[in-house]
Amino acid sequence: MFVAKLSKARILFFFLLFSLVFFTQAFSQSNKPQWWFTYNHTGRFADRWSYGFDLNYRTNGLVPLNSSLTAARMGINYHTNTGFRITAGYAWFGTFASQQDRIWLHENRLYEQVQFNHGSGKVNFTHRIRIEHRWRQLFTDASLGETDVFLTNRYRYLIQLDGPIPRNPERKTSLRWQVANEFFIHNQEDIGYMLFDQNRTLAGVMISPTKTTSLAVLYQLILQQQPYLRETRAINSIRITLFQSLDFRKKKTIIREEVPVVD
């Protein structure tokens, strides 16, 4: 009787969550999960235009912190009244290289993306295509003493689903389930024997105490190819993202609910 009352979307969510747990146990090669912390901010200042930025920090452990990456990204968004959002922006990424006196390897990116949101019943669907032009600082020798900057391009596709978790009338905080998958295609880069060198699968909950603020707590399974070892590494990670969406418009002729999207 209980199963009969579940919508198809919730059944899909629990199935994917079970699959993630199973694959984690089957493919995990690391006892320490990664932790990703993100602050994601958007501001709508016109019907067609908004800005956005996010700050990222990643660590391979909490006690003690073992920093692996930090990043900042910003962009300008153009909105249509049909659910499309077109973005162009810049990002800086710093990869922590502990082998060499704890230095950072810098990466500068220019990116363009198209995002499309649509709904089916109470479930939101998000599709995002992103193109990244990456100027990456990499080591050029086995001794890790010299670095150089290389330009590569990367193409990403993400699909995300989210839907409501039932609540009683007394609870003001809204809860939503969220699942997503994203894969990466590289160009002008030696990634070995695979074209798709990375895949990310996510599942978790979105907690929204207010209409402008949400907290996403997601489990993420990363399958990442190791080209020189000719093997695929499974990485477990927990993503905690604080979303803040503000609207500064005095008059609103385009009214579409913004869907928080993992980044």
pLDDT 10s digits, 226-261: 655 567 788 899 999 999 999 999 888 877 777 889
Check: CB of residue 152 under 8 Å from CB of residue 118.
Answer: no
Quickly name the fold that domain 2-247 has: Porin (2.40.160)
Closest CA to 131 of 71, 78, 91: 91
What per-residue string of b and e applies to 198-225 under the rule 16 or more CB within 10 Å gives b?
bebbbbbebebeeeeebebebbbbbbeb
Give me the pLDDT at residue 73, please: 98
Give me the pLDDT at residue 221, please: 94
What's the predicted TM-score (pTM) here?
0.82
Which H/E stretch holds residue 8?
helix 8-27
Question: Cis peptide leading into 166, omega within 30 of 0?
Answer: no
Which H/E stretch holds residue 248?
none
Q: Domain limits of the chain?
A: 2-247
